[in-house]
Amino acid sequence: MARGPSAPTTEEFEDIARHLGLRLDSQDIEVYKELASGTINICRRIDELTSDVKPRVKYPRTSGFKPDPTDNPFNAWSHRAEIKGADSGPLAGVEFAVKDAICVAGIPAMNGSPVLEGFVPDVDATVVERLLDAGAVFKGKVNCEDLCFAGHSQTCWNGPVKNPHKPTHSTGGSSSGSAAVIAAGDVPMALGGDQGGSIRIPSAWSGVYGLKPSYGLLPYTGAMMIDMTLDHLGPMADSTEKLALMLGAMAGPDGLDPRQNQLPADYDRDYTPALGSGVKGLKIGVIKQGFDQKASDWPETAYGESDPVVDKKVRAAIRRLEDLGATATEVDMPIHFDAGTIFFAIILQGAADFMLRASGGGSNWSGFYNVGLIEAFGHGMKARADDLSFTVKSVMLAGEYMSRKYQGVYHAKAQNLRGLVNNAYEDLLQSYDVLAMPTVPFRATPITSPSDPILEQAGFVHAMLGNTCQVNMTGHPAINIPCGMADDLPIGLMVIGRRYRDIDVLRVSDAFESVGDWKDM
């Protein structure tokens, strides 16, 4: 029996025509059904031609198990399993966890969402395979926010992820579990993803080191996408040294991800020279708009206000870098606040079109398409859309409205405006080696109750993106460096570098880490 799609019924084509605004009579419908038969036959032949074209799985593994709540006090782990990598390498024997938006073959991956409950990938993400090649040991998947659409840690289908420093409070998101397992001491390393701050926010709120690398430095192959122009994967760890080792193991093209087409030939392969090199002579531009923020600075968005203790601790951290020989100068970034508005206009409709309406796989790009994920996502969206978090539903509804009513014009306008944000960063980075400001202007907020009114919960879930989202548009590397505590809640310094000079932000992080225990600062 031939595989592939079935021929459409008359009723199906009539419904499609109405949805597309076409006025077709019954005779027209039958004509177009006949024309569609060619497409159906092509797809049947594609199924016949399809063989095993997915990346091979190199390392043996078992299916593992869902952890017992008593062994998972912060609800950080989604699934436990062990995969031993190569016998030797720069990360030999070092354990790591993987955000549940990143595929590991044979291990369930639900991306924090009900629509992917029960999905088991058949591929390893390239970054996972490369860590295993470097000798690291996979210890399990960790929870993240529902389809990664939140900066808080309360929308995961498996329940909120609690901050190990203060369990009543958020870890930050969307890489919430990745930060929590490191902060809890379960593993020293984890993989995260970052479209608007999702590595750096939980790193700041949970007191771990987290790097959003330069755009395209790490292959995205095998990870679940939101918007191809904003997607980043990156390392999270309990030390700068481990970040550098992870980055060196994972960096470079895999030939399957078009995000890497911009990667220069002379990108760094080894990031360990950043360790111990100090910051003497380094010029730091301190972005003044990153501090002392008021609600009136964000008239179009729901970003949060600055917490004075965060400003104080971050400025003290910058003074410590000056004591080590760096120079710091306050600089002006007038587009900082408008850039946050531009970002939301891009990601709202970009995610609605690319991810939610295109079954998590998008189209019109050349690379590896995760067919099993696309199929599972599409079926799940049809069967369980009502179970999605309010964050995802709001993106779906607003994105669909903007597409129907305004034909995607505002997404297009915002994409054109991102060049202004890029130019602003590039101009400053001509004069300064790195830029600095608070990662998140305020400390972790309490985890709200699912029974709280949606509008009250919504005030928390995106408020923390105000300083992080800009460099997702520009592609510059940005690192969170833990730099202090207040009321048991960590505070983070963010350092931004020139594109593909990730080694510079690691250099700053390592120098600051050498000063002393950040918890006592």
In angstroms, rounded to a whole number, what is the distance separating the alpha carbons of residues 70 and 182? 18
Query: Which amino acid, 510?
Result: D
Residues 364/366/367/369 CA torsion (nearest 10 deg): 30
Q: Kindly state the tokens that stand for 131.
A: 């860590």
Beta-ladder partners of 223: 102
DSSP conformation class of 353: I
Q: Quickly list DSSP for 246-274.
A: HHHHH-S--SS-GGGGG--TT--S--GGG
Length of the chain: 521
Number of Cα atoms under 13 Å in the Cβ half of residue 287: 29
Cα separation of the two ends of the chain: 69
Distances (CA, A) of 155 to 96, 173, 222, 383: 24, 9, 23, 19
Cβ atoms 119, 134 nearer than 8 A = no
In angstroms, rounded to a whole number, what is the distance separating the alpha carbons of residues 179 and 199? 8
In angstroms, rounded to a whole number, what is the distance separating the alpha carbons of residues 194 and 472? 8
Catalytic annotation present for 99: yes
What are the start-end ranges of the E strands in 221-348? 233-237, 283-287, 327-331
Distances (CA, A) of 505 to 262, 269, 387, 510: 20, 15, 40, 9
Q: Kindly state the tokens that stand for 434.
A: 């790195």
From 113, 175, 198, 203, the catalytic residue: 198
* Cis status, amide bond into 214, omega within 30 of 0: no
Residues 306/310/315/318 CA torsion (nearest 10 deg): -120
Catalytic annotation present for 174: yes
In angstroms, rounded to a whole number, what is the distance separating the alpha carbons of residues 234 and 208? 13
Torsion sign over Cα 323, 326, 327, 332: negative
Torsion sign over Cα 424, 429, 435, 440: positive
Catalytic annotation present for 198: yes
From 99, 139, 242, 313, the catalytic residue: 99
Active-site positions read 99, 174, 198
